[in-house]
Amino acid sequence: MSDGFDVGIVGAGPAGCTLGALLVQRGFKVICFDDERRPELLVGESLLPTVVDLMRRLGIEDRVKAFSQFKPGVAFVHRDGQRLDFLFPHGVLGKTPNYSYNIPRPEFDNLLRDRAKELGVLFVKHRASVEKGVGDSEVVLSQETMKVVPELKGQAPRLLVDATGRARTFARVLGLSSTQGTRNDVAYFAHYEDFDATSMTEGQVVISILEHGWSWRIPLPGRLSVGVVIDKEIAKQHGSTAEERLESIIDSQSILAGPGAGRKRVTDVKTYTNYQLISERSHGPGWVAAGDAFGFVDPMLSPGLFMAMHMAERLDELVFAGGPRVLDQPSRLAPRLEKVKAEMLDWHESWAEIIEYFYDGRMFSMYEAGTKLREAYGKWQLPSLMEKHLTANITRMVSGVTTRSRYGRGLVNWSTRHLVWDTQPPEHYAVRTSKTPLPSREEAQMAGV
């Protein structure tokens, strides 16, 4: 057994800190390289109920609760006035808590770091650099990093973890290709005071479908996170700076302009692009990627932070449960890492599938059809019971509980093809891009928009 570190984690975001915290509890010696650069705002402020399970495993839920906003669910509001409210009722999510939190990200990320440190992860303030290696170590720490980090004592960790998020440091060093999503969106967001969330109940997140693109409103303690996700070509029509574009888009959309009439922006405006990406590989000799460094998903249903932390959890459970001795068996390590990769690819595919139901309008069409079923048949008739069953399944899927369920995915697909009639076509409800033609005046009048 080496006296050096078993695992070196490059990056101290949610994936890296979660993995480090779990590994030290299994006896691994872990060093984490953290440059301590914390931006004021980060996407991923609204959490899924499944993240609460991870909080409890790490023993931090009460500390998160102290600085966060309780989240009872999410609402989707269409530009024509339709509204879908997904709350998390008791029993529907099984053993998973029927709530979550909206979090100030810097505070949450710092808490994860503090907890990992409490459990035994050694953090060093250094922006680690890596380079190509050979043989059993495809990626290695640079000689510069080895020299300036005295804690290493000249001995490299046995395994390196890329937890650098969207920087994807290892993938870039190795020249790995990636698969990107099809949308050409850009997001602008900031925090506001005196901006109405239009939540049904306190803490509920509201997603609004705009004339082009969509927006989020996430209640936080004392303020509201407001973001717009819009086609890049449309964004150019709203000014030349991020500030101009965000304010102009808000003012141009009645669904936002009214609630935001007296708003006061209290932060700078942040810009994010490139919402869907998956690397061709998640591991290789001597290294593994965790969280966004492997892949990230469209943010519409807030799965990002869950995916990052869950990948760390699955690496712990499927690869490292045997303790440090697993690093002595590279031939057994690779198949386990490949199993995690396959599982995460299925997660990405599942999230992309259900998110597309919102983008292409089929989810709102199903909701309209379900409303008509309830009105036509009453509470206890078979069609209404089917609609209730479908709604419960969708709630579990968008909560992260059964997102990958073959039954749930099949049920939603079947329902969109066989249970939707006498409704607006999905195109009416779809999230439009710059290539989506606006309806003609006659079509708009017929649709009631």
The tens place of each residue's pLDDT in the chain, 449 residues long, gives: 457 999 999 999 999 999 999 999 999 999 999 988 888 888 899 999 999 999 999 999 999 999 999 999 999 999 998 899 888 888 889 999 999 999 999 999 999 999 999 999 999 999 999 999 988 899 999 999 999 999 999 999 999 999 999 999 999 999 999 998 888 899 999 999 999 999 999 999 999 999 999 999 999 999 999 999 999 999 999 999 999 999 999 999 999 999 999 999 999 999 998 678 999 999 999 999 999 999 999 989 999 999 999 999 999 999 999 999 999 988 889 999 999 999 999 999 999 999 999 999 999 998 888 877 777 776 656 666 787 888 899 999 999 999 999 999 999 999 998 888 888 899 999 998 866 654 443 444 444 43
- Residue entry with tokens 């102290």: 66
SS3 call for 125 = strand
At residue 448, the pLDDT reads 41
Please tell me what DSSP assigns to residue 419. S
Query: Could you give the CA distance from residue 358 to residue 350 in angstroms, rounded to a whole number?
Result: 13
Amino acid identity at 240: S
Query: Could you give the CA distance from residue 16 to residue 113 in angstroms, rounded to a whole number?
Result: 9
CB 314 within 8 A of CB 344: yes
- Residue entry with tokens 């990200």: 105
Give the bridge partners for 179, in sequence order.
278
Domain residue spans of the chain: 7-68+103-178+276-351, 185-273, 361-429
State the CATH class of domain 7-68+103-178+276-351.
alpha beta
> Which pLDDT tens digit goes with each residue over 36-53?
888 888 889 999 999 999
Q: Find how far residue 69's CA is from the centre of its chain.
A: 18
Asked: is 185-273 a CATH 1.10.260.40 domain? The reply is no
> Which pLDDT tens digit goes with each residue over 192-242?
999 999 999 999 999 999 999 999 999 999 999 999 999 999 999 999 999
CB 119 within 8 A of CB 24: yes
- Outline where 209-262 has alpha helix (H): 232-235, 242-252, 254-257
Q: What pTM does this model have?
A: 0.93
At residue 288, the pLDDT reads 98
SS3 call for 93 = coil
